[in-house]
């Protein structure tokens, strides 16, 4: 193995000569989305789902080379009899960054929905002018200016180079993956996808490096919460109103399908040994990290009887030993609870959920959630980093200092559910960063919280405010689509939380369950392109509610009306630049079938 050393203060990359290289815009704005209309399928019957996809794409002008470049990533079948395919693209044996297709085929072999975000192969992709070493150097200069970092090449196999930094700066070894990069104008160029994941701050970055070490694109895959700082949270009086829940003893798991071996089991990391301050299972590993070194603190006494029933003393600080044990119990329970609920709603192994073992059901295993309780690296905050399927995500939960004694986000399931929601949208939709899609990601995470807890505010316990951490409660939320301004993803994401809360009101009034809405919300993500817009979130959920027909059924109309009431009706469109410049056309129109 060769040893590579860099002092990144001194590197110059000379990228000016390659300024003409601009990466193609592969986002929800450019994806081609095809859906059934009036119940009419996109194709006739075919012997297989893949054959239906190929026929339709060929009819839309995709070349034989493009069809031959498609690789099946996953295939699943839902309760409505629809087969869902996820396809990636490979050219010259390398993955094409940002290129994919998602398709749904009914039981008759007819294509009913397709998202086409593919590129056309145009001969062999131009070779990259830099090596994996240079790509790591370029990404480090961009991401960590002023840091003196040294890297050692650990392995270089199958197009992936892995580097060790020789210290604790990174949560896991940085990697450089050789990819094909689509450029504006249709040209293709090989380049590198560099993944770096820091210990401090839990920052997971994907950086695409082109010729000359030029940064073509960067994407932060960590959702950081900047809040305005026992099933739900401890009972407390806020504004003269008592909210929250008392401590109760509950059994787990909530679903033997989602968690066949239970919640507490050998998970490949702890051999099933449970203790006061470390609980592990197939879906989560919860532990204290008060010293912020991103590894578990002392385990405490072993627990062998399966009873994790320490009682809280809220008159003491959260860091008192009994309350730390309560923090672990609550965090572990909440992560497993939301895992099981979202699994039942459609976030399963094939869709990239978080489990150590996938029980032969597809997807990639060894990626349960690392949940760090009372993390010492911050306060009044929380975050969730979502790497690709098969790599473990990391949740960091902090203490909140707006009261004396302080409060602990680990016992506030609003925050736990919200953070887990970021993992849901990153895995099932993708590219949930940027001005609009980042806002939708925040609103979707709020939606997970308010739907599971049945409460129209988020984080009221930790924030010590009866209205929670958002500007308004979600009941009768006052803003609309055309009120979105600026770059605050939290403020702009409130709109999606309000829409889902309104949909909840409509479902319940019509005799539908919140679980059904949750299934339409999660299942709809199969029909939504990466880096989505508000209207694409609407269309995906309506498509899911339509089942095999995909049309505006009664549930689909309730969803459409909820979106339309907030300005995301038929004909609505919205875009936002990274500089926060919004262009929104808001309408309250619904399809004729829903009037």
Residue 562: closest CA among 491, 472, 475, 498: 498
**Residue 482 φ/ψ region, left for φ over 0, alpha for ψ in the -120 to 50 degree band, beta for the rest:** alpha
Q: Is the dihedral of CA 317, 319, 325, 331 positive or negative?
A: positive
**Vertex 363, ends 360 and 366: CA angle to 5°?**
85
Three-state SS for 103-148 is EEECCCCCEEEEEEECCCCCCCCECCCCCHHHHHHHHHHHHCCCCC
Active site positions, annotated: 419
Q: Name 306's Cβ contacts closer than 8 Å, sequence gap at least 6.
A: 264, 274
Q: Name 482's Cβ contacts closer than 8 Å, sequence gap at least 6.
A: 567, 584, 585, 586
Pairing of the two strands 369-373 and 94-105: unpaired
Q: Where would I find the H helices in 379-434? A: 413-428
**Vertex 23, ends 20 and 24: CA angle to 5°?**
120
Q: Is 389 helix (H, G, I), strand (E, B) or coil?
A: coil
C-alpha span between 482 and 94 (Å, rounded): 42
* Dihedral pair phi/psi, residue 114, rounded to 5°: -150, 135
* Dihedral pair phi/psi, residue 575, rounded to 5°: -140, 155
Q: Is the dihedral of CA 571, 551, 500, 81 positive or negative?
A: negative
- Burial pattern 331-349, b for ≥16 Cβ within 10 A else e, equals bbbbbbbbbbbbbbbbbbb
């Amino acid at each position: 193995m060769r040893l590579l050393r860099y002092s990144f203060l001194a590197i110059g990359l000379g990228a000016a000569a390659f300024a003409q290289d601009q990466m193609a815009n592969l986002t929800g704005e450019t994806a081609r989305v095809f859906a059934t209309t009036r119940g009419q399928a996109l194709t006739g019957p075919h012997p297989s789902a893949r054959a239906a996809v190929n026929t339709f794409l060929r009819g839309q002008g995709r070349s034989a080379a493009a069809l031959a470049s498609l690789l099946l990533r996953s295939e699943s079948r839902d309760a409505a009899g629809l087969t869902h395919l996820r396809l990636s693209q490979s050219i010259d044996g390398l993955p094409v960054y940002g290129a994919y297709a998602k398709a749904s085929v009914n039981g008759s072999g007819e294509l009913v929905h397709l998202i086409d975000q593919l590129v056309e192969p145009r001969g062999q992709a131009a070779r990259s002018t830099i090596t994996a070493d240079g790509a790591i150097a370029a990404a480090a200069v961009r991401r960590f200016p002023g840091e003196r970092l040294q890297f050692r090449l650990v392995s270089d196999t199958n197009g992936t180079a892995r580097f060790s930094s020789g210290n604790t700066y990174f949560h896991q070894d940085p990697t450089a993956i050789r990819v094909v990069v689509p450029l504006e104008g249709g040209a293709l160029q090989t380049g590198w996808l560099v993944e770096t994941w820091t210990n401090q701050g839990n920052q997971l970055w994907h950086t695409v490096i082109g010729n000359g070490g030029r940064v073509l694109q960067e994407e932060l895959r960590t959702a950081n919460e900047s809040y305005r700082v026992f099933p739900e949270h401890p009972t407390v009086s806020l504004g003269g109103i008592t909210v929250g829940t008392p401590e109760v003893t509950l059994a787990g798991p909530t679903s033997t399908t989602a968690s066949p071996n239970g919640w507490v089991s050998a998970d490949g990391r702890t051999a099933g040994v449970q203790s006061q301050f470390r609980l592990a299972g197939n879906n989560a590993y919860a532990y204290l990290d008060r010293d912020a070194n991103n590894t578990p603190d002392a385990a405490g006494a072993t627990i062998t009887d399966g009873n994790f029933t320490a009682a809280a003393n809220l008159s003491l600080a959260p860091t008192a030993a009994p309350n730390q044990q309560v923090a672990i119990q609550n965090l572990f329970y909440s992560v497993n609870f939301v895992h099981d609920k979202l699994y039942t709603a459609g976030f399963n192994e094939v869709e990239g959920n978080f489990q150590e073992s996938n029980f032969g059901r597809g997807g990639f295993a060894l990626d349960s959630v690392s949940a760090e309780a009372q993390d010492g690296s911050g306060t009044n905050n929380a975050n969730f980093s979502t790497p690709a399927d098969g790599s473990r995500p990391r949740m960091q939960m902090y203490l909140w200092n707006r009261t004396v004694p302080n409060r602990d986000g680990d016992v506030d399931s609003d925050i736990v559910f919200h953070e887990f929601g970021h993992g849901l949208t990153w895995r099932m939709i993708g590219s949930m960063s940027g001005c609009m899609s980042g806002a939708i990601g925040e609103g979707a995470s709020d939606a997970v919280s308010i739907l599971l807890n049945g409460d129209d505010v988020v984080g009221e316990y930790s924030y010590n405010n009866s209205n929670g951490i958002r500007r308004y409660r979600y009941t009768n939320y006052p803003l609309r689509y055309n009120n979105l301004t600026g770059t605050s993803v939290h403020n702009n994401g409130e709109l999606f939380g309000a829409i889902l809360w309104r949909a909840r009101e409509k479902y319940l009034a019509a005799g539908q369950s919140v679980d059904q809405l949750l299934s339409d919300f999660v299942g709809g993500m199969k029909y939504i392109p990466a880096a989505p817009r508000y209207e694409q979130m609407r269309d995906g959920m309506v498509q899911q509610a339509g089942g095999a027909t995909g049309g505006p059924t009664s549930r689909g109309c309730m969803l459409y009306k909820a979106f339309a009431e907030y300005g995301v009706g038929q004909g609505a469109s919205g875009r936002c630049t990274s500089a926060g410049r919004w262009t929104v056309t808001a309408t309250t129109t619904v399809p004729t079938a829903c009037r």
